[in-house]
Amino acid sequence: MVGIDEVARLAGVSTATVSRALSGNGHVSPTTRVKVEAAAGELGYVVSSSASSLASGRMKNVGVVVPFLGRWYFSSVVEGAQQSLLRQGYDLTLYNLTGGGEERRSVFEHFLLRQRVDAVIAISLELTESEVARLHALGKPLVGVGGPIEGVRTLTIDDVAVARLATEHLLALGHSRIAHIGGNNAFDVDFHLPTNRRVGYEAALEAAGITVSPENFQPADFTIRGGYQAAKQLLGRPHDRPTAIFAASDEMAIGSILAARDLGLSVPRDVSVIGIDDHDLADFFGLSTVAQFPRGLGEKAVEILMDQLHPGKRDQEGLNTPMPFELIVRSSTARPPE
Amino acid sequence: MVGIDEVARLAGVSTATVSRALSGNGHVSPTTRVKVEAAAGELGYVVSSSASSLASGRMKNVGVVVPFLGRWYFSSVVEGAQQSLLRQGYDLTLYNLTGGGEERRSVFEHFLLRQRVDAVIAISLELTESEVARLHALGKPLVGVGGPIEGVRTLTIDDVAVARLATEHLLALGHSRIAHIGGNNAFDVDFHLPTNRRVGYEAALEAAGITVSPENFQPADFTIRGGYQAAKQLLGRPHDRPTAIFAASDEMAIGSILAARDLGLSVPRDVSVIGIDDHDLADFFGLSTVAQFPRGLGEKAVEILMDQLHPGKRDQEGLNTPMPFELIVRSSTARPPE
DNA sequence: ATGAAAGCGCTAACAG
DNA sequence: CTGTTAGCGCTTTCAT
């Protein structure tokens, strides 16, 4: 391993100058900067991150905590964050909590505390007070993606508004028997996302003067299979079959489309379907949906952290930054049958 | 931040003893170990990873390089690796190369070299000689998942055998007009996986005395949409329509099932479909497939690295470890129509 | 703009 | 089994 002193010797300057030239901290004349860079390149020098971190207190690394990795939404947020971080020279240390409770504890009580990360991004996790307190005590910037957390900088989508937008699209097409496939309680722990979406759905119906009927609601687990089963219930009714389904995720919406087909119903002629996400598969299934841009969430989260880590730029858009969403109409929604 | 010396003072021992007690390296009497642990717990002490790394040369961190994250296979391998690493007290630093060439260069020439990781796992990446050389020069253990790499410890699935197994299943059911949806050239760069699967398919046919016909092959891009389009070609032919399709991935197989439906064909009555992966969705679609266990790959990769990092245990199963696969028969395959 | 030198917080010989 | 001590390789005042 070639060290900083060898570079200094080759360039004919002190190690301090090499450090300044390569890190960009402190002033170095253009001439020496070039000399140093040449020397470093020639020797294939790369700073030792541990030495650099120990001396400076900066890790050039951010921790990203996710509840799952296999789901499209999460991997997209991570991809977005990763790409932004790489460009800034930062590493991304991943903590996937799929395993369960014990894992979560060890991540928060041990891994995140050993001064390995400069900041952390928590995706769709409702952090406990003590988890937040630990991180704050270390002075580590923290941004939450996916829901408001007490006293934490967050990026959120207005789930109520998203659900209302989707429902209003159906309403505008002339539907009135609109069913909703929402999340079951297991998914309500973090940020009550299913609840919020249901609230938006109901608000839209009420604003249109339509009575919300409990039999037009089915809970599911956010998967294609779950959506399929829920839709079978909804569409299998002998009378008053809904003419439209609003599913709280694209995967459940796709399940609904498949269920409709299996019941001999045509989408969108007999039944319209709309989801939320703009999942990879949405386009293939011609699914109308409300897009939320997860890669953008990851990128924005990094941007906020960088502002906090290197202050001096503009800043503070308030504690909570609302993120954009957008109705995308494809071929799964149309006017209801006569 | 409480440091090791405060713990030492509280416990009434030297910092060296605290280090030994907490890290498990070196002998400490049970009594003092308990005292030290109590002191550390009371003060909420957690080692500074940079100081520890600088002094010891160990990072307790492994780098995982993936070409994509959104695909089921990759995120599953990463999940498996992550879980094993967490249990060993290791962090996982993720390098997602989705961005393209420039990103790959910076990861290999800069990120992986700054002494941040003890080892690296490369998933489905055909590393160049210089990439391997750089890592080896640092003395970093490296394991490749998904294909053999010159001089590198790897974990591979015998793609030829997997494809043969799938094809033989179809053959055993009595099919003879068996089409194959393989990968297009873009996917052949890393490990020639599409080629190998095609070779296995052709070998099985030939062994059964069936002539391989080029019109029974369609390339696609490993997605549901790609499989759908390819299957439409294959199944849309006026005569000699294949009675079975073997797709090189479950996603393409699912696309084939959807295509068959849209063409008014019933699966498996009119056409049988088999894939490779045992994707999350395979069960829902009743897809017969050859399972490869990606979480297991991730876990095994970590196991191998740990053996290399902490020698003394058993070891060396040869440079290349073949991984298991298994035929799973569901409802998408049956005897061909009369 | 550059150099000298004092650590950053911990680990690993080496003694005892 | 435990303490003493010398660094690990870099960054950062403080001078100049």
Give chain A's domains with CATH numbers: 4-56 (1.10.260.40), 61-157+294-322 (3.40.50.2300), 159-291 (3.40.50.2300)
Chain A hits for B281, CB-CB cut-off 8 Å, are 224
Instruction: Write down the pLDDT at residue A89.
Output: 92
Task: Report the residue of chain A nearest B86, measured CA to CA.
Answer: A103
Of residues B187, B188, B179, the one with CA closest to residue B216 = B179
Q: Which residue is nearest to nucleotide D7 (CA to C1')?
A: B55
Instruction: Write down the pLDDT at residue B98.
Output: 83
Nearest beta carbon to residue B281 from set A98, A138, A224: A224
- Least confident interval from A78-87, B244-253, B306-315: B306-315
Of residues A117, A116, A51, the one with CA closest to residue B115 = A51
Distance CA(A103)–CA(A237), nearest Å, equals: 43
Average pLDDT over chain B, rounded to an integer? 92
Secondary structure of residue B196 in the 3-state scheme: helix
Chain B hits for A221, CB-CB cut-off 8 Å, are none
For chain A, give the secondary structure using H, E and C.
Answer: CCCHHHHHHHHCCCHHHHHHHHHCCCCCCHHHHHHHHHHHHHHCCCCCHHHHHHHHCCCCEEEEEECCCCCHHHHHHHHHHHHHHHHCCCEEEEEECCCCHHHHHHHHHCHHHCCCCCEEEEECCCCCHHHHHHHHHCCCCEEEECCCECCEEEEECCHHHHHHHHHHHHHHCCCCCEEEEEECHHHCCCCCHHHHHHHHHHHHHHHCCCCCCHHHEEEECCCHHHHHHHHHHHHCCCCCCCCEEEECCHHHHHHHHHHHHHCCCCCCCCCEEEEEECCCCCCCCCCEEEEECHHHHHHHHHHHHHHHHCECECCCCCCEEECCEEEECCCCCCCCCC
Q: Nearest nucleotide (C1') to the CA of residue A17?
A: C2
* Interchain pair B54, A50: CB under 8 A: yes
> Do residues A74 and B86 make contact, with C-beta atoms less than 8 angstroms apart?
no
**In this structure, which amino acid lies at residue B123?**
I
- Least confident interval from A143-152, B225-234, B295-304: A143-152
DSSP structure string for B104-140: HHHHHHTGGGSS--SEEEEES----HHHHHHHHHTT-
Distance CA(B289)–CA(B329), nearest Å, equals: 7
**Partners of residue B291 on adjacent β-strands:** B277, B326
Instruction: State in Å, rounded, how far the first CA of chain B is from the last one.
Output: 76
Q: Which residue is nearest to nucleotide D3 (CA to C1')?
A: B14
| C1’ D10 / CA A321, Å | 38
CA distance A212 to chain B (A): 31
Instruction: Write down the pLDDT at residue B330.
Output: 98
**Residue among A50, A72, A108 with most chain B CBs within 10 A, to mutate:** A50
Residue A249's region, left for phi above 0, alpha for psi from -120 to 50, else beta, is beta
Instruction: Write down the pLDDT at residue B315.
Output: 55
Q: Which residue is nearest to nucleotide D9 (CA to C1')?
A: A51
Instruction: Write down the pLDDT at residue A330.
Output: 98
Helix (H) or strand (E) holding B179: strand B178-183
Of residues A192, A184, A183, the one with CA closest to residue A146 = A192
The answer, yes or no, to whether residue B286 has pLDDT greater than 60, is yes
B322 touches strand D (CB under 7 A): no
Average pLDDT over chain A, rounded to an integer? 92
Q: Find which of A314-318, B131-135, B206-210 is predicted with most confidence, using mean pLDDT.
A: B206-210
CA distance A68 to chain B (A): 9
> Do residues A77 and A133 make contact, with C-beta atoms less than 8 angstroms apart?
no
Chain A hits for B225, CB-CB cut-off 8 Å, are 283-284
pTM, entire model:
0.93
> Do residues B242 and B170 make contact, with C-beta atoms less than 8 angstroms apart?
no
| C1’ D2 / CA B28, Å | 8
CA distance A88 to chain B (A): 11
**Residue among A60, A86, A108, A135 with most chain B CBs within 10 A, to mutate:** A86
| C1’ C6 / CA B25, Å | 30
Secondary structure of residue B142 in the 3-state scheme: strand
The answer, yes or no, to whether residue A249 has pLDDT greater than 90, is yes
Task: Report the residue of chain A nearest B78, measured CA to CA.
Answer: A69
Nearest beta carbon to residue A91 from set B78, B103, B116: B116
Instruction: Write down the pLDDT at residue B6.
Output: 94
* Interchain pair B116, A50: CB under 8 A: yes
Of residues A323, A253, A254, the one with CA closest to residue A293 = A323
**Partners of residue A91 on adjacent β-strands:** A61
> Do residues A259 and A194 make contact, with C-beta atoms less than 8 angstroms apart?
no
Nucleotides in D strand less than 7 A from protein CB: 1-5, 7-13
The answer, yes or no, to whether residue B314 has pLDDT greater than 60, is no
A106 touches strand D (CB under 7 A): no
Residue A58 is encoded by which pair of tokens?
């900066």
The answer, yes or no, to whether residue B189 has pLDDT greater than 70, is no
User: Confidence band (pLDDT; 50, 70, 90) for A317?
Assistant: low
Instruction: Write down the pLDDT at residue B256.
Output: 98
Nearest beta carbon to residue A115 from set B48, B82, B281: B48
> Do residues A10 and A21 make contact, with C-beta atoms less than 8 angstroms apart?
no
What DSSP state is assigned to residue B332? S
Distance CA(A113)–CA(A116), nearest Å, equals: 7
* Interchain pair B82, A93: CB under 8 A: no
The answer, yes or no, to whether residue B59 has pLDDT greater than 90, is yes
Chain A hits for B228, CB-CB cut-off 8 Å, are 284
Of residues A169, A181, A182, the one with CA closest to residue A329 = A169
> Do residues B245 and B308 make contact, with C-beta atoms less than 8 angstroms apart?
no
Query: What would the mean pLDDT of A215-240 be, rounded to a whole number?
Result: 94
Chain B hits for A83, CB-CB cut-off 8 Å, are 96, 98-99, 103
Nearest beta carbon to residue B92 from set A72, A93, A261: A93
Residue A191's region, left for phi above 0, alpha for psi from -120 to 50, else beta, is left
**pLDDT tens per residue, range B204-223:** 999 999 999 999 999 999 99
User: Confidence band (pLDDT; 50, 70, 90) for B134?
Assistant: confident
Instruction: Write down the pLDDT at residue A212.
Output: 94
Residue B110 is encoded by which pair of tokens?
């800069």
A43 touches strand D (CB under 7 A): no
Any alpha helices (H) in B138-273, and if so which ranges?
159-172, 193-207, 224-235, 250-262
B337 touches strand D (CB under 7 A): no
* Cα separations in angstroms, B237 against B265, B323, B338: 13, 38, 19
The answer, yes or no, to whether residue B261 has pLDDT greater than 90, is yes
Chain B hits for A286, CB-CB cut-off 8 Å, are none
Q: Nearest nucleotide (C1') to the CA of residue A55?
A: C8
Distance CA(A235)–CA(A215), nearest Å, equals: 11
Cα angle for residues B40, B46, B47 (degrees, 5° grid): 115
Distance CA(A130)–CA(B289), nearest Å, equals: 46
Chain A hits for B114, CB-CB cut-off 8 Å, are 46-49
Nucleotides in C strand less than 7 A from protein CB: 1-5, 7-13
The answer, yes or no, to whether residue B313 has pLDDT greater than 60, is no
**pLDDT tens per residue, range A233-248:** 999 998 889 999 999 9
